[in-house]
Structure 1
Amino acid sequence: MRAVLCRAFGPPESLVIEELPDPAPGPGEVVVDVACTALNFFDTLIIQNRYQVKPELPFSPGAEFAGRVAALGDGVTGLQPGQRVAGYIGYGACRTKVVAPAGRLIPIPEGLADEAAAGLLVTYGTSLHALQDRAHLRPGETLAVLGAAGGVGLAAVELGVAMGARVIACASSPDKLALAREHGAAETLDYTKEDLKEGLKRLTGGAGVDVVYDPVGGDLSEAALRAIAWKGRFLVVGFAAGDIPRIPLNLMLLKGCDVQGVFWGAFADKEPAQNASNIEAIFRWAAEGRIRPLASTILPLEQTGKAIRLLADRKALGKVLVRTGA
């Protein structure tokens, strides 16, 4: 099989592609012929040894994938060779064959393409967990999404709309804001041209937003928190800006608000039944057309480094995928 490998920590351009022996499944495991792998912002960090997950060298980036079952290990039930599945394994999916625990695989429903299914688990899984399980977003509430044209941001826009919220999409360029509007955002705010706090106050008539979804961090976090409504919920999703903000605790006191961490990977491990229910709902909504996952860039496996560079430079709109050709 072919595999993209990180043999030494470094930039995306340092990744190499090599031939490796085909894997065999152990007990409870499944070998999947990978059709495509979806990339995420944390792939830019894990190959530089800057992520909380630190695999031993060499390893393949890529956490989520879609493909067909190739072989079943002892004790695996409920899956069949040739069946289309999607899965999340944390890292290691940028290769033509992967071994995954059977419990990490979810059948892909008819009508849902591999390219869509591969990119649903992390971004939509994160966003649904954030909005539903953490913030308990209610119909009629106002949701501000930072980085609204990125993978998790666009997913949060769509899910917020599906859950009945009024979504304010916040991003850094007109094309990104236009994309968020196409996916249901009611209002948009360019935080390179308008102060984020003042803009959110303006768009809510001074009341502030009920929920802030923040995968960006940096200077935007405190500005957004200062625009939150009484008893609002601030969701800490990630730090794409690179800087982890230090938030004055008096803001939470004055606004009676909650700051909530969102770590979908840990949630999926610690609460697998709830996560499985969430993912099944997401797959169903995607197959029904209620959400429309966007894969703006699909490159061959050999260009995985280029694909990750798009994420590192924050030039990606929606999801970035690599196709193995399987």
Structure 2
Amino acid sequence: MKTVAAHAGVSAQTVSRVLRGTGYVSEATRARVLASVAAVGYRPNAVGRSLRATRTPMVGLLITDITNPFYATLHKSTEAVFRERGLTLMLLNSDDDPATERTQLDLVSSYRPSGLLVAPAVHSTLTTEDLAGFGAAVLVSRTLPGLAVPSVVTNEPEAMGEATRALLDAGHRRIVAVLGPRDASTTLRRESGYRDAVRAAGAEPIVRYTDQTGPGARAAIRRALQADPGLTAAVGFNAPVTEGILRGLRDEGLECPRDVSVVGFTDAPWMSFYPPPITVVGQPVAAMGELAARLLLDVLDGKPVTPGLHVVPSVLLRRESVAPPRPRPHDEKRTPCTS
């Protein structure tokens, strides 16, 4: 800053006022200072600032599975909001493990961030007191009972119910829900919508839990079909699970939707051109991320923010992966595919 001041022929205090946007500085002086900033290549020292401030200009984003495309979109949308405020985003991954989650939170807290966005791990042990240590905290996608913090979610029970009814309306009654981890809040909310829909139609709920990955879903749908060859439809928990379902159908020599209709949850680029294009719940991931970021900024600004659920509605995108069930003899010889 002293170098900029000497180059511009002003005091260091004047440079500070220009960079901070506080106090009066004439337009001519402001222009001269900014030209000197560019000329000498000055950049604010975030570490130096943090030594004088309570928090660094950084926000932590702790997610559960860095390979899930959901979190890539979430990261991009939150980062765009924070960038407008001069805040950087530090991405951390818990691998859905509570111990790793604790380790990652210890790491990010050592940087004294301005706030934290977190998708909690299954069986997370986080408390309101833990999150209070970050000054401002918002949960995204998943929730935890008893935490007095804002949580941004979509209308999962209603959206999963609509997805299930799309299959029921096509005539399906043997519908398997291939879900995520049994105790995750996202699983519980989506499962409730599925169960309500099939029971209202007089059908039997059929549920398989997975680790919410493609390989896990691939194995689960194969086991489900081998145990119950009468299954004619499946609804998937997320994009990786939906992909796993389709791979599992191929393994069993079955086609979608000729043999098994499929509806997914959370859209992905490949779903719109996969043969056939997949009917899916279009989860508003970018809107969820933007809302979570703005809620966190509101907390930082001292604005009132209501704890609890902040819901962004989803939309069912109807494509070509749902068809009426076709009679399939249970003893029909199927030729599994290999890959």
Identify the structure with bigger relative contact order (alpha carbons < 8 Å, sequence gap 6+): 1
Structure 1 or 2: larger strand share?
Answer: 1
So what's the TM-score if we normalise by structure 1?
A: 0.36
Q: 1 or 2, which has the higher helix percentage? A: 2
Report the structure number with the largest CA radius of gyration. Answer: 2
